[in-house]
Homo-oligomer: A and B are copies of this chain.
Amino acid sequence: MARIRSKKNSSRKELITLAAARLFREKGFSATGMRDLAGDVGVEAASLYNHISSKAELLQEICFRIANTFTTQLNELEANDTMSSIEKIEQVIRFHIRMWVDRIDEVLVANNESKYLDEPYLTTFYNERRIYVRRLEMIIEDGIKKKQIRKIQPYAVVLLLLSAVRGIEFWHRTKKNISAAELEDSMVVNIINGLAAQ
């Protein structure tokens, strides 16, 4: 029987998924072959199928794992009613930056390669993302209503947040001499200062 999912098995699949994320990010989903991936893992292409069921599944795994990570964090944040809107936004920004720094491969694949998801996953993924952005807007709207945040277009703010965080990628590539923590703090300070009322 052996119903216990062996540690070897799950860590092997995990290793393959992370290697796939790195390759999909670097070369793009379509340009990455199963033989490339196998070579990276140190195995023949056919052997991969002892652990995964298809190339498409790898992309799904990467994209939805990231989507769920962001959604879960937002769930916890929304449930917390002791934080002000500004504090919530600060937590969101910190979380985005941390994800960008720690899990850059998966995040970039979810951003840039998700268009290669098959249906119905493609539609599901885009819906989840749309809802996520909408929920961020609602936090900001709430903050404006409570006069904790300057009166501005919530959608524009979300846009600013997302593209500011996106800028980290460049920064991260060129200025290696700044630590992740420093980066996080200085970004948060800059953005939050621009938002706070008065």
Could you tell me if A159 and B170 are in contact, using CB atoms closer than 8 angstroms?
Answer: yes
Classify the secondary structure of A's interface with B.
Answer: helix
Closest chain B residue to A113 by CB distance?
Answer: B28
The reply to whether the CB of A164 lies closer than 8 angstroms to some CB of chain B is yes
How far does the alpha carbon of A36 sit from the alpha carbon of B31 in the complex, in Å?
17
Complex interface: chain B residues within 8 A of A155 (CB): 174
The reply to whether the CB of A82 lies closer than 8 angstroms to some CB of chain B is no
Complex interface: chain B residues within 8 A of A163 (CB): 163-164, 166-167
How far does the alpha carbon of A30 sit from the alpha carbon of B159 in the complex, in Å?
29
Count residues on chain A whose CB falls below 8 Å from chain B CBs: 18
**What 1/0 mask marks residues of chain A from 100 to 116 whose CB sits below 8 Å from any chain B CB?**
00000000000010011
Tell me the residues in window 115-166 of chain A with beta carbons closer than 8 Å to chain B beta carbons: 115-116, 155, 159-160, 163-164, 166
Query: Taking the nearest CB of chain B, how far is it from the CB of A165, in angstroms?
Result: 10
How far does the alpha carbon of A157 sit from the alpha carbon of B177 in the complex, in Å?
19
Complex interface: chain B residues within 8 A of A112 (CB): 112
Complex interface: chain B residues within 8 A of A115 (CB): 27-28
How far does the alpha carbon of A116 sit from the alpha carbon of B32 in the complex, in Å?
12
Query: Taking the nearest CB of chain B, how far is it from the CB of A193, in angstroms?
Result: 13
Complex interface: chain B residues within 8 A of A174 (CB): 155
| Shortest beta-carbon contacts, A-B, top 9 | A30-B30, A30-B31, A163-B163, A163-B167, A159-B167, A28-B30, A159-B170, A28-B28, A163-B166
